Amino acid sequence: MKVLVTAKRVVDYNVSIRVLSDNSGVDLNNVKMSVNPFDEIAIEEAVRLKEAGKVEEVIVVSIGTSACGEQIRTALALGADRGILVETEEDMQPLAIAKVFKALIEKEQPKMVILGKQAIDGDNGQTGQMVAALSGLAQATFASEVVVNDDDTATVTREVDGGLEVISVKLPAIITTDLRLNEPRYASLPNIMKAKKKPVDTYSPEDLGVDVTPRVKTLKVTPPAERAAGIIVETVEELVDKLKNEAKVIS
């Protein structure tokens, strides 16, 4: 069976980002870019399923400018078999990405699509759900364990607010990964070398018949407010008074 996985190009999690002076976004000039960490977990899960003999082919998808080829290469070095780059200069929003995936699902007929539960740039956390809705497929989000069964189903443990929820989904299904699903590996040197020889197909959204026009307009991007300095209270009475009357957290 085939699995599609994602490799979104995002600012590396180690970089401390800077908001542009015109508040239109984040400065991406000369900033180190990496695969979205949740997508790394998705790639790792697919590669493990392949190593376990449950999956024949892992196809990695990245959507964006030609630079996204770097993230595809990274995923290929980690063990994906081939890549698909959907190349566009457009600002890709979750709905547009979901439509691209719908088209790719029709084209590739995978049994599973594994996506990060969110990307660390936009923190939207909605693409996987949209893909499931548009494609009419089952979804299992926030997965912390995925077991592929022989009867064309998967048993997925989900991290929900109250604890863990175990569900069974019919394949093909859309799965989004949570942090504790696995610990991604690093690429070995032979695999880094092999990755260069693996095939990557490039499409435009038009090739796939998808309209990727943005639907959401960004009004303003601002950095989080700086934390104000605290004060030192003299007595317990003063503390209680401030908590009661100033912070209004106790009554």
Partner 1 sequence: MENQDIEEIRQAVRQLCSNYSEDYWLGLDRTGGYPTDFVKELTTSGFLTVLIPEEYGGAGLGLREACVVMEEVCRSGAHAGACHAQMYVMGSVLRHGSDYQKKTYLPKIAAGELRLQSFGVTEPTTGTDTTSLKTVAKKEGDEYVINGQKVWISRIEHSDLMVLLARTTPQSEVSKKTDGLSAFLIDVQAANGNGLTIQPIESMINHHSCELFFDDLRIPADNLLGEEGKGFRVILDGMNAERILIAAECIGDGRYFVDKASAYATNRIVFKRPIGQNQGVQFPIARSYTQVEAAALMVDKAVDLFDAGEPCGAEANIAKLLASEASWQAGDVCMQTHGGFAFAKEYHIERKFRETRLYQIAPISTNLILSFVGEHVLKMPRSY
| Both structure tokens of 41 | 């977990």
- Residue 62 found at the interface with partner 1 (CB under 8 A): no
* Cβ closest to partner 1, residue 124 vs residue 191: 191
Closest distance of CB 221 from partner 1, Å: 25
What is the separation of C-alpha 82 from the centre of its chain, rounded to a whole number of angstroms? 19
Residues 55 and 49: beta-carbon distance below 8 Å: yes
* Cβ closest to partner 1, residue 225 vs residue 229: 229
What is the separation of C-alpha 229 from the centre of its chain, rounded to a whole number of angstroms? 35
Candidates 81-89, 148-156, 170-178, 182-190 — which segment interacts with partner 1 by CB under 8 A?
Answer: 182-190
> How far apart are alpha carbons 48 and 144 in whole angstroms?
14
- Residue 189 found at the interface with partner 1 (CB under 8 A): yes
- Residue 188 found at the interface with partner 1 (CB under 8 A): yes
Closest distance of CB 32 from partner 1, Å: 9
* Cβ closest to partner 1, residue 75 vs residue 169: 75
Residues with Cβ within 8 Å of 140's Cβ and at least 6 positions away in sequence, in order, are 146, 154, 156, 158, 167, 169, 173, 174, 175, 176
- Residue 179 found at the interface with partner 1 (CB under 8 A): no
> How far apart are alpha carbons 190 and 126 in whole angstroms?
36
Nearest CA-CA partner of 22 in 228, 214, 227, 218: 218
* Cβ closest to partner 1, residue 41 vs residue 130: 41
- Residue 216 found at the interface with partner 1 (CB under 8 A): no
Residues 184 and 44: beta-carbon distance below 8 Å: yes
Torsion of CA 7, 98, 171, 109, to 10 degrees: -80
* Cβ closest to partner 1, residue 160 vs residue 193: 193
Q: Is 164 exposed, middle or buried (0-12, 13-18, 19+ CB in 10 A)?
A: exposed
Closest distance of CB 224 from partner 1, Å: 19
- Residue 192 found at the interface with partner 1 (CB under 8 A): yes
Candidates 50-58, 164-172, 186-194, 222-230 — which segment interacts with partner 1 by CB under 8 A?
Answer: 186-194
Closest distance of CB 201 from partner 1, Å: 19
Footprint (CB under 8 A) of partner 1, residues 9-38: 34
Closest distance of CB 190 from partner 1, Å: 5
Please state, as a whole number, how many other Cβ atoms lie within 10 Å of the Cβ of residue 161.
6
Footprint (CB under 8 A) of partner 1, residues 64-103: 70, 73-74, 77
Q: What is the chain's length?
A: 251
Element (H, E) at 77: helix 69-78
Site residues for partner 1 per CB under 8 A: 34, 70, 73-74, 77, 186-190, 192-193, 195-196
